[in-house]
Amino acid sequence: MIGEMPSEVRSRTMRAVRSQNTTPELKVRRILHGAGYRFRLHRKDLPGSPDLTFPARKAVVFVHGCFWHCHDCKRGARVPKSNSDYWVAKIARNVARDARDFEALNFLGWRAAAVWECELKEPQALLARVSNFLEGVADA
């Protein structure tokens, strides 16, 4: 557990957490590319630097880790035992930033969706949901 590690080990572990090209993101990319979707990666000129951008569809997809973005699943609801005040505030800032990014993208005329790490357990359902979103089907 991270809370039981010496601080230098914990620091090294946390530095290894990437924000781009994460395992969940690579899996989502593989699923969507296999279905024939083509996209651009990490557009820095759009709010939030979306993980996947579909310019012709004016749509973006963010791949969110359940813990880091406070998903309502078991992993996202977990609160660390050590330094919990820091982590609760940190994750709240992430959620607020996500909301600002989605609002800014909407204002610019882009549609945005989030794919959650836990959704990767059911790739077919994930593909169906994202396909509906990209094709403009309501309730995607």
User: What is the distance between the alpha carbons of residues 72 and 58, in angstroms, rounded to a whole number?
Assistant: 27
pLDDT value, residue 122: 96
pTM for this predicted structure? 0.83
User: What is the distance between the alpha carbons of residues 58 and 109, in angstroms, rounded to a whole number?
Assistant: 7
Q: Which segment of 6-15, 71-80, 116-125 scores lowest on mean pLDDT?
A: 6-15
What distance separates the 2 farthest-apart alpha carbons in the chain? 50
pLDDT value, residue 18: 62
Nearest Cα residue to 115 out of 105, 107, 125: 125
Q: Domain segments of the chain: what residues?
A: 2-134
Tallying the residues shown for the chain, one arrives at 140
CB 76 within 8 A of CB 38: no
Model confidence pLDDT, tens digit, residues 25-71: 999 999 999 999 999 999 999 999 999 999 999 999 999 999 888 88
Fold of 2-134: Endonuclease; Chain A (3.40.960)
Is residue 138 very low, low, confident or very high in pLDDT (cuts 50, 70, 90)?
low
